[in-house]
Chain A
Amino acid sequence: SQKIEQNSEALNIQEGKTATLTCNYTNYSPAYLQWYRQDPGRGPVFLLLIRENEKEKRKERLKVTFDTTLKQSLFHITASQPADSATYLCALDNYGQNFVFGPGTRLSVLP
């Protein structure tokens, strides 16, 4: 059956360290994968999109990788700050029709 998993429900790291979040999927063949940030009581906000033929994408302190062989995307936040604390969702396209979201990882950056 189709499944999207994100490494853990919650992740705690120290300020200044690099946070690495994982998104694994099975029985999908996405052409695109996106990452969103969601703060409590708010809708998700788009961060980055990566295509299947792109290995890596960067935006300021954010970096996303996409390995279609491993069926995995990694999302990195370098020099993390308490303001980065939020839930991060990965989403992958479902045969070009719509996006399917992972369950999310709640990141807490401790000062």
Chain B
Amino acid sequence: DVKVTQSSRYLVKRTGEKVFLECVQDMDHENMFWYRQDPGLGLRLIYFSYDVKMKEKGDIPEGYSVSREKKERFSLILESASTNQTSMYLCASSLAGELYEQYFGPGTRLTVT
């Protein structure tokens, strides 16, 4: 059974802290994605990666960075957390080539105070 896991379901951080969100998939997928989801704004793509050490900016990369050192793991980094980064963060993965369906993790609800 396909699985995407995220390191935390809930996280509370203070303004200015460095925050790491981890995502692991066990399906040997080439593509991995990070989204944030906010009421009324839907899912917005932050970054995605087609391969190890490869990354592409999505629609809202400002304030975020990513790391993909291993195929199964894709990390989202908030260099200096701000209150406007309070959101639900969702990781997803998919096969490469034709745009196959994405498999999502359960999400991390991040609150920055």
CB-based contact B107/A43 at 8 Å: yes
Q: How far apart are the CA atoms of A102 and B101 in the complex, in Å?
A: 15
How far apart are the CA atoms of A13 and B25 in the complex, in Å? Answer: 37
Say which size band chain A's interface belongs to: 20 to 34
Given known contacts A96-B99, A97-B56, A102 and B42 CB-to-CB distance under 8 angstroms: yes
Q: Do B42 and A101 touch (CB < 8 A)?
A: yes
Q: How large is the interface on B (under 10, 10 to 19, 20 to 34, 35 or more residues)?
A: 20 to 34
Q: Are A93 and B99 in contact (CB under 8 A)?
A: yes
Q: Which B residues are in CB contact (< 8 Å) with A103?
A: 40-42
| B104 proximal to A (CB < 8 A) | yes
- B residues with CB within 8 A of A: 4, 33, 35, 40-45, 48, 56, 58-59, 90, 92, 99, 101-107
A-B contact pairs, 10 of them (CB 8 A): A43-B4, A43-B104, A44-B104, A45-B104, A89-B42, A98-B56, A98-B58, A98-B99, A99-B99, A103-B41
